Amino acid sequence: MTTLQLPGAPSLAYDANNQLCVDGVSVADLAREHGTPLFIYSKATMLRALQAYQQGFAGRNALICFAMKANSTLAVLQVFAQAGCGFDIVSGGELERALAAGADPARIIFSGVGKKRSEMRQALQAGIGCFNVESINELHVLNEVAVELGCQAPISIRVNPNVDARTHPYISTGLKGNKFGVAHEEALGAYQLAASLPGLQVVGIDCHIGSQITQPGPYLDAMQRMLDLVQLIESHGIPLPHFDFGGGLGITYADETPPAANDLWKELLAEMDARGMGDRQLLIEPGRSLVGNAGICVAEVLFLKHAEAKNFCIVDAAMNDLPRPAMYEAYHQIVPVKQAQADAAATTYDVVGPVCESGDWLGRDRALSVQQGDLLAVLSAGAYCMSMSSTYNSRGRAAEVLIADGKAHLVAERETVSAIYARERLL
């Protein structure tokens, strides 16, 4: 078999018949059985990515919390729960999903800038491990909810270290102009307030500087600033038992070369050891780096349209299935499910979907040798695709298949149109 050159995804390969396979299972066969668009995930690739983190934390007191906003499909969550992960959630809905997938509530951390009182109450009653608080006002409201319930809310405060993650501005979260976290300069006062409130129990400190980070520099800068802050806060008599360093490690979509998780954490832990803080509990919240290269989206070529200025390859997957290109002008590799002959002529196409928006594109200027009815695979589609999908144009969400131990499991049925409008009522 010919393995595709995509770091982190050795599960993708062409067989002797030039057919694309995921962990040895034919993509074309799955598309025939379940239709398209179709998401296919590899359990082995997820666990391989997780193993890099586990190796980096060997011998340490660490909890890896999967950031489920990257992919909240129940079977994907189940894979990580069974592998010993906790979960990073950002809504009451994600809490319900995590619990439905078998998560231990004590290993759940609740992040996000806009938690509702009802969500706080729900999380406290479930017994989650920690709230990552993101504002002074949130401290007061969470305290009120906890006092009403007669309990204490375990909290850490998300501190904005004002570090440039050098990523897309929409997914940068650690600068002064971002909506996330408490300003670095205000952190001590925020912790003194938290320690004084009867409904709160300070259990740690948190930061998160962004997503799709491909260089170690921003992490090292943030680590130094946060360790300085830990020393300052603890010098004022407020212990911080755990240090949550967030997530954000990038993956290879095109030619990026992010550090391996175990190599990155070797550097970061060396910084903590040098400051005498390497023995405290560590929490991290990886998302994309665990699932991004574990998934593909399969689409059928509906029409080939040749125009004076552009050639268009129109497929049945669209921006409602794969929103990243439309939102971030993101790049995904696109390959034929049946590998073309080496001497086959290629044409340059924009690969677009059927949604009535000019922003509905999946890839621009791609050299492809395709015909109407062929199948294409959009790679690196395991993160922020299905979890951000919608029913725009009354298009039902795609089916999802998970390959585990060489067997394909349908883990989400294709959404029907009647299911889309089932909650609606005529006058």
Digit-by-digit pLDDT tens for the chain (427 residues) are: 566 655 545 589 999 999 999 999 999 999 999 999 999 999 999 999 999 999 999 999 999 999 999 999 999 999 999 999 999 999 999 999 999 999 999 999 999 999 999 999 999 999 999 999 999 999 999 999 999 999 999 999 999 887 755 544 444 444 455 667 899 899 999 999 999 999 999 999 999 988 888 888 888 988 999 999 999 999 999 999 999 999 989 999 988 889 999 999 999 999 999 999 999 999 999 999 999 999 999 999 999 999 888 999 999 999 999 999 999 899 999 999 999 887 789 999 999 999 999 999 999 999 999 999 999 999 999 999 999 999 999 999 999 999 999 999 999 999 999 999 999 999 9
CA gap 163, 159 in Å, rounded: 11
Closest CA to 224 of 275, 148, 159: 275
Nearest to 138 by CA among 118, 157, 123: 157
Q: Answer yes or no: is 94 a known binding residue.
A: no
Q: Please indicate if the annotation marks 56 as binding a ligand.
A: no
Comparing C-alpha atoms, which of 208, 96, 215, 196 is closest to residue 158? 208
Known binder of ligand: residue 384? yes
Q: Indicate left, alpha or beta for 346 from its phi (over 0: left) and psi (-120 to 50: alpha).
A: beta
User: By the 8 A CB rule, do 129 and 107 touch?
Assistant: yes
Q: Is 149 exposed, middle or buried (0-12, 13-18, 19+ CB in 10 A)?
A: middle
324 is known to lie in a ligand binding site: yes
Catalytic entry in 65, 130, 313, 356: 356
Instruction: Give CA–CA dist 339/322, Å, rounded.
Output: 23
Q: Write down the domain spans for the chain.
A: 2-42+292-420, 111-286
Provide CATH code, domain 111-286: 3.20.20.10
Q: Is 392 annotated as a binding residue?
A: no
Q: How far is CA 394 from CA 101, 219, 288, 369, 397, in A?
A: 28, 41, 28, 31, 9
Active-site residue, 356 included: yes
**239 assigned ligand-binding residue:** no
Cβ neighbourhood burial of 327 (10 Å; 0-12, 13-18, 19+):
middle
CA dihedral 268, 45, 81, 383 (to 10 degrees): 80
- Could you tell me if residue 140 is left (phi over 0), alpha (psi between -120 and 50 degrees) or otherwise beta? alpha
Partners of 41 in beta bridges: 295, 402
What is the CATH code for 2-42+292-420?
A: 2.40.37.10
Tell me, letter by letter, the H, E, C secondary structure of the chain.
CEECCCCCCCCEEECCCCEEEECCEEHHHHHHHHCCCEEEEEHHHHHHHHHHHHHHCCCCCEEEEEECCCCCCHHHHHHHHHCCCEEEECCHHHHHHHHHCCCCHHHEEECCCCCCHHHHHHHHHHCCCEEEECCHHHHHHHHHHHHHHCCCEEEEEEEECCCCCCCCHHHECCCCCCCCCEEHHHHHHHHHHHHHCCCEEEEEEECCCECCECCHHHHHHHHHHHHHHHHHHHHCCCCCCEEECCCCECCCCCCCCCCCHHHHHHHHHHHHHHCCCCCCEEEECCCHHHHHHHEEEEEEEEEEEECCCCEEEEECCCCCCCCHHHHHCCCCCEEECECCCCCCCCEEEEEECCCCCCCCEEEEEEEECCCCCCEEEECCCCCCCHHHCCCHHHCCCCEEEEEECCEEEEEECCCCHHHHCCCCCCC
- Tell the residue number behind the tokens 């405290």, with chain if given: 280
Which of 411, 338, 330, 408 is CA-nearest to residue 377? Answer: 338
Q: What is the pLDDT of residue 175?
A: 45
* CA 203/CA 220 separation, integer angstroms: 23
Annotated binding residue 287: yes
The token duo for 214 is 């491909």
User: Nearest-5° angle of CA 42, CA 48, CA 49?
Assistant: 95
Q: What is the pLDDT of residue 167?
A: 47
